[in-house]
Structure 1
Amino acid sequence: MDAYIFSLETIMTIGYGAPTDDIFYGGCTSIATLLTLESFAGIILDSVCIGIFYARFSRANTCERRKHQLVEAHVRLYAVRHEAEDDADEPNDFLFQCHQMRVQQPDDDCGAMLLMVLPQVVVHRIDQWSPLFPPECLPRDGGDPKTCASYPDPTQRQVDIDNGSRDGGLPGDPKLYKEPTKMQIMNHIRKSGLEVVVILEGIDSSTSNTMQARNSYTDEDIAWDATFERCVIKTSRGLCIDFDRFHLLKPAPLDAKRCVMSSQF
């Protein structure tokens, strides 16, 4: 028992003995048990306190606007559609299918890379390969995989055909699909319970740790015919980002190409 008390006092660095000449407490079993329990309680208390302080100071707050930028940031878009199967036995039998959404800006063929120095606008074009495209506007026979979506063929982009970087028909060729209206797109998103998931990934320049940020948008989160307010202001010291206007929206102009350019600078 003396050896156990001596080893416990040594490893826990709690000091030897008491205000007596006997540093081993006379080999008392009760004292040895009490020292052991108090030592474990001290370890647990230290761990809890350190964990609380670490969690508090490492958690980001709304008021914190640090200048640490994300390096090699890139974005991915996915759409989850809750579709009812035609041959389902139960009325509540749904097929939860995840679809990839091609990104036009930044170009996902180049990795959809983002330079997070200034606010960035991510553009997904609702073409015939987009999961946001109403199915009633697609050909009934499924069509050609080169000109419209056909599961499980890879998802294409209409912009690649428009700029001539991919075969898929000439500009004057008749379209096999119908151009959807805004109301058709809205009804499709609402009917299918579509949810858009945006994943942003990058490297923290201060710690070199990889971080991910995920956001999801449903029908209630989508603002139609709107664009972002100007949040980048040019001052005598350079460009300044007004984060109080970061999420503000305004009516979008008829020319979609002017939406992005005029909203940021």
Structure 2
Amino acid sequence: MCGSLHQRLQDYLSERKCRRTRLVTKDGHCNIEYGNIKYSSHLSFLADFWTTAVEIRWRFVLLFFIASFTLSWFIFGLIWFWIARNNMDLSWQERDEEHTPCVYNVVGLTTAFLFSLETQTTIGYGGRAITPHCAGAVAVIIIQSLIGAIINCFMCGVILAKISLPKKRAKTIHFCDMAVISPKNDALCLSIRVANLRKSLMIGSQIYGKLLRTRNTPDGETIIMDQVNIEFAMDAGKDNLFFVCPLTLYHIIDKGSPFFEMAVDTLHKQEFELVVFLDGTAESTSSACQVRTSFIPQEIMWGYNFQPIISRSKDGKYRVDFSNFHKVVPVATAHCAYCFHNIKGHHHFSKFGNDNPGFEVIEISDPLSVTKM
């Protein structure tokens, strides 16, 4: 019992350390903070107020939404109260029988606030109405109507922009939890799997990666977060992917790859982070979006390959079984990339040219366990 609790504690601390040291989380958020920013730089966020309003959290958007309307109603309510007071319209002020008010039935602060609200929201119950005898009141009602229209347009634009942000489309694109290293097409490859959960395509999709690590130069300089390009491709190329079903993309581990000097027993001892990017344009909204994820050495499995998830029923429909999306199977793989390329007979594997060598027409008995394409 104590041993089990100790192991769980070690796993929790290890997972927390990995989460803390990541630059990019599995769901694509960047784990970085900025310090010692000059005060003048903060004013730049106010100058670009539209982007700031779109990027802030929903709780602040709702707060600004309520505050902007409520404050404008109250401020103009005070103005209408001041106009009524100057015109002797209030209930406690003495006036003659022939007195003509600026606004009918505005006799106190509460009724002035209600008239301000009715004016800006164009409710118009009919109980309170402006008269043409006060030029100042006519000017105020014009100004309030214009300001109310501006507030309406701005807040509606912010809410619509936040709802249609491209990063919301990225929520329906999933990467596999683990990357794998295995032989493919007479080469040793690092493979990842990505799926589009919507039927609408991502137009012009392309995928690439960055390997982030700390490197020491011959001059003794330490480069934090040094970036190395990692190229991913399919058999049909690396650009303009036909992203209609889950894809398995691979990076060839050759002499120019940073993974060439790693081996099965040294991979998990390395300190790096593989950040993978998928860029594309949503077919339904024509908005460009980017999906990100990352893999640390503990999330790269040497000597494994993904299970096939695409099949075809006898009626000709293609189906995707997402229950196998993250599952892998062991395959015979060389101990290291150098062994794969230079030591003949050190590795034993069967050559195959696709991710689903057993692809055939099969009968699917449970249609609920798969997703129709």
Structure 1 CA distance, aligned partners of 2:276 and 2:122?
A: 53
CA gap of 1:225–1:111, structure 2 versus 1, over 3 A, is closer
Matches of 2:247 and 2:129, distance apart in 1: 74
Structure 1 outlier segments of 4+, above 6 Å = 15-18
Distance in structure 2 (CA, Å) of the matches to 1:95 and 1:264: 45
Pick the aligned partner of 2:264 from 173, 182, 204: 182
Contact 1:76 1:112 in 2 (8 A): no
Residue 251 in 1 paired to residue 345 in 2?
no
1:14 to 112, 118, 122: 122
* Aligned with residue 313 of structure 2, among 211, 231, 235: 235
Q: Where do residues 103-252 of structure 1 align in structure 2 (5 Å cutoff)? A: 103=232, 105-106=234-235, 110-134=237-261, 181-184=263-266, 186=267, 190-191=269-270, 193-237=271-315, 238-252=317-331
Of residues 14-23 and 117-126 in structure 1, the stretch that sits farther from structure 2 once superposed is: 14-23
CA–CA separation in structure 1 for the residues paired with 2:358 and 2:279: 22
Any stretches of 5+ residues in structure 2 without a counterpart? 1-78, 80-101, 103-115, 174-195, 334-348, 360-373
Deviations 1:74-131 (A, max 9, x none): 2222222211345437xxx434321122445346xx5544211232211112221101
Structure-2 change in CA distance of 1:112 and 1:54 (3 Å):
closer
Matched-pair contact (CA < 8 Å) for 1:204–1:210: yes
**Compared with structure 1, are the counterparts of its residues 70 and 104 closer, same or farther at alpha carbon in structure 2 (3 Å cutoff)?**
closer
Tell me the CA shift for residue 23 of structure 1.
2.1
For the residue of structure 2 that corresponds to 1:121, the secondary structure is strand
Query: Of the candidates 255, 261, 265, which is equivalent to residue 355 of structure 2?
Result: 261
Q: Secondary structure at the match of 2:265?
A: helix
Residue identity matched to 2:272: L
Task: Mark the runs of 5 or more structure 1 residues left unpaired by the alignment.
Answer: 135-179
2:228 to 81, 99, 106: 99
Q: Structure 1 residues 22 and 222, CA, compared in 2 at 3 Å: closer, same or farther?
A: closer
Deviations along 1:2-58, one digit per CA (max 9) or x if unpaired, are: xxx9xx9xx9683889646752574577x949x84x975786477546644664576
Q: Secondary structure at the match of 2:250?
A: coil
In terms of mean alpha carbon deviation, does 38-47 or 98-107 score higher?
A: 38-47
Please state how far the C-alpha of 1:236 moved relative to its aligned partner. 3.2
CA contact (8 A) 2:306 2:355 kept: no
The residue number in structure 1 matching 2:131 is 23
Deviations 1:195-238 (A, max 9, x none): 22222222322233333222221112212222212211222341
Aligned in 2, Cα 1:199/1:106: closer, same or farther, shift over 3 Å? farther
CA contact (8 A) 2:205 2:281 kept: yes
Match of 1:78 among 197, 210, 218: 210
Letter in 2 for 1:183: D
Q: Report the secondary structure of 1:220's partner residue.
A: helix
**Separation in 1, partners of 2:232, 2:265:** 23
- Residues 1:67 and 2:203 aligned together: no
SS in 2 for 1:96: strand
Instruction: Give the letter for the 1:242 counterpart.
Output: D
Q: Quick one: structure 1 residues 19 and 72, their matched pair in 2 at CA, closer, same or farther if it must change by over 3 Å?
A: closer
Return the alpha-carbon distance in structure 1 between the equivalents of residues 312 and 125 of structure 2. 71
**TM score, norm. by length of structure 2:** 0.43
Aligned equivalents of 2:198 and 2:255: distance in 1?
A: 41
Does the aligned pair in 2 maintain the 1:106–1:114 contact within 8 Å?
no
Fraction of identical pairs, as percent: 20
**SS state of the match for residue 293, structure 2?**
strand
Number of equivalent positions: 205
Distance 2:284 2:298 in 1: 36
More helix by share: 2
**Cα pair 1:228 1:264 within 8 Å, conserved:** no
